[in-house]
Amino acid sequence: MRTSLALASLAALIAMLTPLAGTAQRAQPLAPAFSAKELTASPTDSWITNGGNVYNQRYSPLTRINRDNVAQLKPQWRTHLNGSGTESKYSGQAQPLVYDGVIYVPTGANDVFALDVDSGKILWTYQAHLDAGITVVCCGWMSRGVALGDGKIYAGQLDGKLVALDQRSGAVVWSVQAETNADGFSITAAPLYYDGLVITGFAGGDRGSRGRVKAFDARTGKLVWTFYTIPGPGEVGHDTWPADNDTWKFGGAAVWQTPAVDPALGLVYFSTGNPGPDLNGSVRRGDNLFSVSMLAIDAKTGKYRWHFQQVHHDLWDYDAPNPVILFDAVYDGKPRKGIAEVGKTGFVYILDRETGKPLVGIDERAVPQEPRQATAATQPYPRGEPVVPHEIDIVPEGFELVNNGRIFTPFWDKPVIVKPLGTGGANWPPSSYDPETNFFYVCANDGAGAYSTREGGVEWEMPKPGTRYFGGEYTRSGAQRRGIFAAVDLTTNRLAWRQQWAEMCYAGSIVTRGGLVFIGRTDGRLTALDKANGKLLWDFETDAGLHAPVTTFERNGKQYVVALSAGSFFPGTKHGDSVWLFSLEGGAALPSGAGTPSSTGTDSEVLKH
């Protein structure tokens, strides 16, 4: 049952707000160089890495907030982040980190804030001062989080810089130009801290770049290794690119998310984006490895170990931006080490993370051909059930339906409608995994796009680095779009439950032992669902679109939920600059959508009974 948390009027609330002036600042203990044991543990009193642990599970074992009492959840305080990231071009997509009573969160402007858990007071701020003229950003200006370790906060920036900040003051300890905008690169994902390294991928797959992942020394910022997601001459996979041109040098395969790690195997895992140019395959004959692939590389050296390609010779912008998750489960009576990812295709790919081989079968099936696009003869079809529909039931007005609009339908110079749309399926919003049930919680969208090649020719021209390198266009088809949130059983790859939303699903989730899934909504609500069936148990309307995954943790015998409510460029939701802290004890309930972002306010509001 939906519970409405509202007072009779905003005026009544304001009378009860107590600003926190002069709150004493305690000494902040420094985070250690976290061990593998600490980084793989399920988070309790802290949330020290972007995915909750380095398996990227976003699972909390906490139970104080549960399906029986979540209706009593209330906001305890809200803090405005100085108006950072409130312009329409910005997106608030960062999952907060928490360590020993301090919250660390970046905004879409790449500014980083440290907040006191008890009071909501801003302890320090780092301002990125990004150049307003950056042009290589794909889908809104954003940061999806920071990393923590060895007394430092690590942040990737849209200008290609990787910075290490003093955990206590926010002062810059070191800064490196990891890659440049001029070469088409930016950093959108939270870096990964592991084993004395800071590991990050780079966006830029539609900007004439060659994808890569780099590892830097966490103490000094010195480059340790580089792995190229488009292999060069003599490397595994280079023969899947044309020998008569240099498209591989601009082949894309960006990395949009924070990698996962298995310390026992010594492997780093991630997935990659589309090949370049996105929609014109005529100039890049072959499978185009390692685009749209799941990859394992050696954590110490960055050397290739295995790959699995989700889409051969991608033409539909079906990249794989969702974070991979690692898990252990029983298959055919034997315990196995698994890795799973949901793609823009709407398929869930479930592999053995030691070998890269499927744990649930994946079949190569013949697909329709378009010789001018040099289409792949077959595509991988995971057994089980896709999260989103893969064909169009009724033709949209103004279009002719080809192949019922099914996934992998090719196109050329005239628009052809295909499902899913190139934005997904599942996009960047992180999925979550419940080790109690092996359920995998996925945010996705059902939509169709009208695809065509703008050039209509096959002559390849050298792209100018940093400029748009798309090779065609896809537009809305007029078919109704809807959000989908689903639970998938990873032991069978079948849907446990699935629901549709009237609006887009465009937020990451977390799942708890207390029986809950927390996920934000485009209308600004934070919602709690029963993880067993998706039933809405609680919602609260914040003051902006809520797209970032929330974080939950325990402190002094109480469980809290912290959320960044800041809106997003891509769905065009209401913008703001608020961090909200919720607890069962909480304070007074805010009226729905109460408050507006402050352009200068640094003070916190304590919400009292």
Listing DSSP states for 47-90 in one string gives B-STTSSTT---EE---SS-TTTGGG-EEEEEEE-TTTT-STTE
Q: Which of 158, 81, 160 is nearest to 123 (CA)?
A: 81
pLDDT score at 343: 98
Residues 375 and 311 sit within 8 Å (Cβ to Cβ): no
Only one residue has tokens 């990393």, namely 147
pLDDT score at 96: 98
Edge-to-edge strand order for the sheet containing 348-352?
A: 325-331, 334-342, 348-352
Q: Which two tokens stand for residue 544?
A: 């902006």
- Could you give the residue numbers annotated as active site? 317
Q: Amino acid identity, residue 191?
A: P
Q: Which of 36, 140, 30 is nearest to 545 (CA)?
A: 140
Q: Is 244 exposed, middle or buried (0-12, 13-18, 19+ CB in 10 A)?
A: exposed
Residues 142 and 92 sit within 8 Å (Cβ to Cβ): yes
Only one residue has tokens 């749309």, namely 421
What is residue 316's DSSP assignment?
Answer: S
Q: Which of 551, 558, 485 is nearest to 512 (CA)?
A: 551
At 281, is the secondary structure helix, strand, or coil? helix
How far, in Å, CA of 121 to CA of 78, rounded? Answer: 10
Residues 157 and 131 sit within 8 Å (Cβ to Cβ): no
Mean pLDDT by 10 residues, the chain (609 residues): 36 32 59 98 98 98 98 98 96 97 98 97 98 88 97 98 98 98 95 98 92 98 98 98 96 97 98 95 96 98 98 97 98 98 98 98 98 97 98 91 96 94 94 98 96 67 80 84 97 98 97 98 98 98 98 98 96 96 79 38 45
How far, in Å, CA of 493 to CA of 514, rounded? Answer: 24
**Number of residues assigned to the chain:** 609
At 127, is the secondary structure helix, strand, or coil? coil
User: Pairing state of beta strands 141-143 and 90-92?
Assistant: parallel
Q: Amino acid identity, residue 19?
A: P
Residue 570's H or E segment, with its range, is: none
Instruction: Report angle CA 405, 407, 413 to the nearest 5 degrees.
Output: 65
How far, in Å, CA of 105 to CA of 545, rounded? Answer: 17
How far, in Å, CA of 206 to CA of 404, rounded? Answer: 28
How far, in Å, CA of 182 to CA of 215, rounded? Answer: 21
Q: Which two tokens stand for residue 186?
A: 């930016």
How far, in Å, CA of 261 to CA of 533, rounded? Answer: 30
Rounded to a whole number of angstroms, the distance between the first and last alpha carbons of the chain is: 24
How far, in Å, CA of 338 to CA of 361, rounded? Answer: 13
Residue 112's H or E segment, with its range, is: strand 112-116
At 248, is the secondary structure helix, strand, or coil? helix
What is residue 203's DSSP assignment?
Answer: B
Q: Which two tokens stand for residue 91?
A: 């997106």
For 463, list phi and psi in degrees, rounded to 5.
-75, 155
pLDDT score at 605: 61
How far, in Å, CA of 48 to CA of 39, rounded? Answer: 8
Residues 301 and 410 sit within 8 Å (Cβ to Cβ): no
What is residue 180's DSSP assignment?
Answer: -
Q: Summarize pLDDT for 493-526 with one digit per residue, the tens.
A: 999 999 999 999 999 999 999 999 999 999 999 9
Q: Amino acid identity, residue 401?
A: L
User: What's the CA dihedral at 360, 213, 323, 84 to 10 degrees?
Assistant: -170
Q: Which of 164, 132, 160, 136 is nearest to 148 (CA)?
A: 164
